[in-house]
Structure 1
């Protein structure tokens, strides 16, 4: 038993993880292209306006400062989302719905367990984080964070930029955006998020003749393609083009907390 615990702690300390594959959950594939229903994300926006700190290389969240009233408002927002059936929305509204839901639930997870040094500390003893925990029920279906990202967002939209907008409350993660996603702004925010991450050192750092990339590009290589295809993707957004000759990967799981 001690050996198993030691091995689990070693894996966690090294930041090792097996990235889930995109695996479509057909139940969520339906949409209503002619729907004009718009989901209200104002409660989430107000929380971002009040507690998100934007710096040149990182956005940080003031978890410690979130008061009881705003915790209630976050819970109210999530209950409102849970009361919707996203299959009745058009595709753009659906995208905003799922991304905001994912990010808001992640913030709530941290708040519910605060103080915590890393999201990877949550979950069971042998779990690397809380991503497989059932957190919400929508349209009669119990959902985890992994369900939203890997069984809904990735397989339905098939857009690698999704990795830049779902936030895991960690310093190594693409930034939590200061704007709530909407049907109208979602593509602009996808572009903005990709550009910001790829031009940050946590995304791509050139170190002499070597390049240090975020582990996202290793974990989800199936979404970005081979090194040549990944290089083309990165240089689409890079201010200074990069050559991927000697590559290593890294990721910082420390909490994205504003001190």
Structure 2
């Protein structure tokens, strides 16, 4: 009987560890009526005046994030008033069909990144975002009258827009994450920005790419389906951005994810 209980405990422990590693990719599956225009079915640019000025966030990012994407969280703490002003600006918005696809996309990416910084600051000092209870499942982000989690923003809003490059634009405050871009995303520049961060991430040390074998970031494992739509293989997708071209039959493995805080030293 004791052996049976021990075996069951080990099984549960292993399942919990697996779930923890995949928490980002599974948290949040309810869009709560918020708009998720498909980038493939909508105009990707608009000549209309932007609905929202992300200037405050742009200023904070330029001041507290270096070119490698490392974050000065103590500096952000000192600028807490400005960050709160931006968070309130984001939360006061009422998104509707008058927003262009690019405006919605830029809004959700900035929303995710700004509230992730806010989450770290509210729990600072912290070694890892995974040490924060409910980091991706707690509904602490406000959009108008709607409460939503970081996992909800990613999985129920951004991923529904069918733009796989968002995975290289949102930042989960960890070393292995795509770097936090030190400028705000805007509707006017988002195509250029998404191309930039995707190419930089694919060719960074977060992947090990050779012609006959690749060791990719776990992001490509967790969200494989997002990168392999329309008959593309994962290698096809990576080859669109990789400076080293991968052979079609190359072996693929995935790197261990470093969840330590992406804090500038």
Normalised to the residue count of structure 2, the TM-score between the two structures is 0.82
1:56-205 to structure 2, matched below 5 A, reads: 59-68=69-78, 70-87=79-96, 88-123=98-133, 130-155=135-160, 157-202=161-206, 204-205=207-208
1:242 shift after superposition: 2.1
1:29 shift after superposition: 2.5
The answer for the alignment partner of 2:58 in structure 1 is 45
SS of the counterpart of 2:21? Answer: coil
1:40 shift after superposition: 1.3
SS of the counterpart of 2:130? Answer: helix
The answer for the alignment partner of 2:226 in structure 1 is 223
Gaps of 5+ in 2: 1-5
The answer for the alignment partner of 2:3 in structure 1 is none
The 1:209–1:232 alpha-carbon spacing in structure 2 relative to 1, beyond 3 Å, is: closer
| Rounded Cα–Cα distance in structure 1 between residues aligned with 2:226 and 2:15 | 29
1:241-252 to structure 2, matched below 5 A, reads: 241-243=245-247, 245-250=250-255, 251-252=257-258
Kindly report structure 1 stretches of 4+ aligned residues shifted beyond 4 Å.
21-24, 30-35
Which of 1 and 2 has greater Rg?
A: 2
SS of the counterpart of 1:28? Answer: coil
The answer for the alignment partner of 2:260 in structure 1 is 254
The answer for the alignment partner of 1:17 in structure 2 is 22
The answer for the alignment partner of 2:34 in structure 1 is 28
SS of the counterpart of 2:216? Answer: strand
1:101 shift after superposition: 0.7
Q: Is the 8 A contact 1:53 1:61 kept in 2?
A: yes
SS of the counterpart of 2:209? Answer: strand
Gaps of 5+ in 1: 125-129
Q: Is the 8 A contact 2:211 2:245 kept in 1?
A: no
1:237 partnered with 2:241: yes
| Rounded Cα–Cα distance in structure 2 between residues aligned with 1:83 and 1:166 | 21
| Rounded Cα–Cα distance in structure 2 between residues aligned with 1:212 and 1:180 | 30
The 1:117–1:245 alpha-carbon spacing in structure 2 relative to 1, beyond 3 Å, is: same
1:30 shift after superposition: 6.9
CA-based RMSD of the aligned residues comes to 3.0
Q: Is the 8 A contact 1:23 1:150 kept in 2?
A: yes
1:36 shift after superposition: 3.5
Q: For 1:147-172, what per-residue CA distance to the aligned partner results, in whole angstroms no more than 9, with x for missing partners?
A: 111111111x2011111101101111
Normalised to the residue count of structure 1, the TM-score between the two structures is 0.84
| Rounded Cα–Cα distance in structure 2 between residues aligned with 1:141 and 1:46 | 27
